[in-house]
Chain A
Amino acid sequence: MSQQTQAKTFEVEKIREDFPILNRKVNGYPLVYFDNAATAQTPKQVMDAIVDYYSNYNANIHRGVHSLSQEATDKYEQARIKIQKHFNAEKAHEIIFTSGTTHGINLVANGFSSLLSEGDEILVSAMEHHSNIVPWQMLCEKTGAKLKVIPMDENGELIYSEFEKLIGPATTLVFLNHVSNALGTVNPIKRIIDKAHSAGAAVLIDGAQAAPHIKADVQELDVDFYVVSAHKMCGPTGVGVLYGKEEWLEKLPPYQGGGEMIATVSFEKTTYAGLPHKFEAGTPNICGGIAFGAALDYMNNIGFKEIAAYEHELLDYATTKLKEIEGMKIYGEAAEKTAVISFNIEGLHPYDLGTLLDKMGIAVRTGHHCAQPVMDFFKIPGTVRASFSFYNTFHEIDLFIEGVKKAKMMLQ
């Protein structure tokens, strides 16, 4: 069996030893964690980095003359460089630490509010997370710009020809996710970025769902902004980064005022600090940033190619098995997708399925996945979403499939 060979070469059992949480029981059953697209689990190596920080060099950064502060600053800046290298940003100061993807998007949206004017157009895709819809709606309300939507088809793929029709000289910004959180679709972002640039528009890519599976090269993509969250990549919650091209970050005004982001302050005038500090007001999540760096080390050590290959095996296996279940409807069958399966069983409410799976120790997400427009497109209240990570196993998928069948039997 090729799956088993793959699993063996991938050494998933050894990897699982790094994740203590995977040993726990939930409702009396061994935990099967398939809610990775919401939050990925944390390996010991990342926990060690957190403990090391608080045990040895917890101090405020960029300010103190004392040794601890210097150590903390060095480690924090080293983490920034790790992140820069990971995404292949040209300069370290193009990496802005944020509290997560939503923060990054809001930072850019807020910055653009002073650059947009009535008549400008913003394009978003039909498969966005609410965090990539609401800030732009707010921005449009403020500036009089118009929000236009790139439609998708039944497979959950963007209709590129429609995008070509929508984009024009009035388009100032294009925002879309690299990977859809509700459907797992991998969007053709390179093609979209190139087209947008040729029309003179800037592009922000929400990389939250892509980053755990695909190593994005921001220079190769030539993307203007790329945002991610650490907690989807084995890092802690409450931290993320915004990559922005230097020229854009220079152009945008600061988002929040406070300490750290200033050069000089008097009551007459304050001058702002340079990048990246201009966007990093106040004491940041220092430990979180350092732990994010450790998480990237951990994942790179395993290898993103290896991770993607193994996760695809899991995805194919689970998709085939799920399709054998009568009444199964999978939403989002794009040719290129990450290890996410959104589904419903005819006549059953996703909430019921999710509740019973939880009773069997299987964690999935149910509901609209903060993507109500996607649910409206398929005319459903929500779906069950199983999302896999590189530490999941074929055996866990078998347990999940059995669980789905059992739940179905109970509910019908």
Chain B
Amino acid sequence: MTIQEKQQEVIDEFSMFDDWMQRYEYMIELGKSLPLIDEKYKIDENLIKGCQSKVWVHAELEGDRLVFTADSDAIITKGIVAILIRVFSDQHPAEIIEADTQFIDEIGLKEHLSPTRANGLVSMIKQLKMYAVAYQTQLN
């Protein structure tokens, strides 16, 4: 599936909910299903700055695809990371660099996109894209 298709899938899932509670409950569920980062990667270098909760992201190339694993000490943050990883993981770095993040808005999480928001969603996206840029040069 392309990033676009995965985004659409997430949008479709979230469109089933009528209120914020259902959306957040679903995010909490997603958080619990996050592909967990190996404990050895839970180090300060993998910590994303700008979050009130701790978020670790690790990236690894599998062939020409970039695979992300992550964890957070807060469950809602974990849910947000899980959505991002579901969309961006297992994709070619070039695709990750190019991808827009409009879908965040469409699933009703726009409030988390503000750069001043303490959860650091913006920092997370930036970090995923930076990994993609780094691995893209490696592939070239």
Contacts of A355 in B (CB 8 A): 76, 119
Smallest distance from the beta carbon of B81 to chain A beta carbons, Å?
13
Contacts A355-B119, A381-B54: A349 and B74 contacting too (C-beta < 8 A)? yes
Among residues of B, the one whose C-beta sits closest to the C-beta of A367 is B52
B118 beta carbon closer than 8 Å to chain A: yes
Which of B24, B25, B53 makes the CB contact (< 8 A) with A351? B53
State the interface size on chain A (CB cutoff 8 A): 14
Contacts A355-B119, A381-B73: A410 and B20 contacting too (C-beta < 8 A)? no
Contact with B along A342-382 (1 / 0, CB 8 A): 00000011011001100100000011000000000000011
Q: How far is the CA of A351 from the CA of B50 in the complex (A)?
A: 13
Contacts A410-B24, A411-B28: A352 and B52 contacting too (C-beta < 8 A)? no
Q: How far is the CA of A355 from the CA of B117 in the complex (A)?
A: 11
Among residues of B, the one whose C-beta sits closest to the C-beta of A368 is B52
How many A-B residue contacts, CB cutoff 8 Å? Answer: 39
Contacts of A352 in B (CB 8 A): 53, 74-77
A27 beta carbon closer than 8 Å to chain B: yes
Which of B21, B75, B119 makes the CB contact (< 8 A) with A411? B75
Q: How far is the CA of A356 from the CA of B73 in the complex (A)?
A: 16
Q: How far is the CA of A351 from the CA of B28 in the complex (A)?
A: 13
Which of B25, B73, B74, B119 makes the CB contact (< 8 A) with A410? B25
Q: Say whether B77 contacts A359, CB under 8 Å.
A: no
Q: Say whether A349 contacts B20, CB under 8 Å.
A: no
Interface set of A (CB-CB < 8 Å, partner B): 27, 348-349, 351-352, 355-356, 359, 366-367, 381-382, 410-411
Smallest distance from the beta carbon of B55 to chain A beta carbons, Å?
11
Q: How far is the CA of A44 from the CA of B54 in the complex (A)?
A: 41
Contacts of B25 in A (CB 8 A): 410
Q: Say whether B74 contacts A351, CB under 8 Å.
A: yes
Interface pairs (5), CB distance under 8 Å: A349-B53, A349-B75, A351-B52, A359-B21, A381-B73
Q: How far is the CA of A118 from the CA of B9 in the complex (A)?
A: 66
Q: How far is the CA of A382 from the CA of B53 in the complex (A)?
A: 9
Q: How far is the CA of A349 from the CA of B75 in the complex (A)?
A: 8
Q: Say whether B52 contacts A382, CB under 8 Å.
A: yes
Smallest distance from the beta carbon of A31 to chain B beta carbons, Å?
16
Among residues of A, the one whose C-beta sits closest to the C-beta of B74 is A349
Contacts A349-B77, A351-B119, A410-B21 known; 10 new A-B pairs at CB < 8 A: A349-B74, A349-B75, A351-B53, A352-B53, A352-B77, A355-B76, A367-B118, A381-B54, A381-B73, A410-B25
Contacts of B77 in A (CB 8 A): 349, 351-352
Q: Say whether B28 contacts A349, CB under 8 Å.
A: no
Smallest distance from the beta carbon of A346 to chain B beta carbons, Å?
14
Q: How far is the CA of A105 from the CA of B65 in the complex (A)?
A: 54
Lowest 8 CB-CB distances: which A-B pairs, in order? A349-B74, A351-B74, A351-B53, A351-B52, A352-B76, A352-B74, A359-B20, A355-B76
Interface residues of B in 49-92 (CB under 8 A from A): 52-54, 73-77
Smallest distance from the beta carbon of B124 to chain A beta carbons, Å?
14
Q: Say whether B24 contacts A359, CB under 8 Å.
A: yes
Give the residue among A27, A348, A352, A410 with the most B Cβ atoms within 10 A. A352
Q: Say whether A356 contacts B54, CB under 8 Å.
A: no
Q: How far is the CA of A381 from the CA of B47 in the complex (A)?
A: 15
Contacts of B28 in A (CB 8 A): 410-411
Q: How far is the CA of A27 from the CA of B19 in the complex (A)?
A: 11
Contacts of B118 in A (CB 8 A): 351, 367
Q: How far is the CA of A410 from the CA of B24 in the complex (A)?
A: 8
Smallest distance from the beta carbon of A384 to chain B beta carbons, Å?
11
Among residues of A, the one whose C-beta sits closest to the C-beta of B54 is A381
Give the residue among B20, B52, B73 with the most A Cβ atoms within 10 A. B52
Contacts of A356 in B (CB 8 A): 24, 76
Q: Say whether A349 contacts B73, CB under 8 Å.
A: yes
Contacts of B73 in A (CB 8 A): 349, 381
Contacts of A381 in B (CB 8 A): 53-54, 73
Contacts of A366 in B (CB 8 A): 52
Smallest distance from the beta carbon of A181 to chain B beta carbons, Å?
17
Contacts of A382 in B (CB 8 A): 52
Q: How far is the CA of A352 from the CA of B80 in the complex (A)?
A: 12
Smallest distance from the beta carbon of B36 to chain A beta carbons, Å?
16
Contacts of A27 in B (CB 8 A): 20
Smallest distance from the beta carbon of B85 to chain A beta carbons, Å?
19
Contact with A along B20-31 (1 / 0, CB 8 A): 110011001000
Q: How far is the CA of A102 from the CA of B75 in the complex (A)?
A: 34
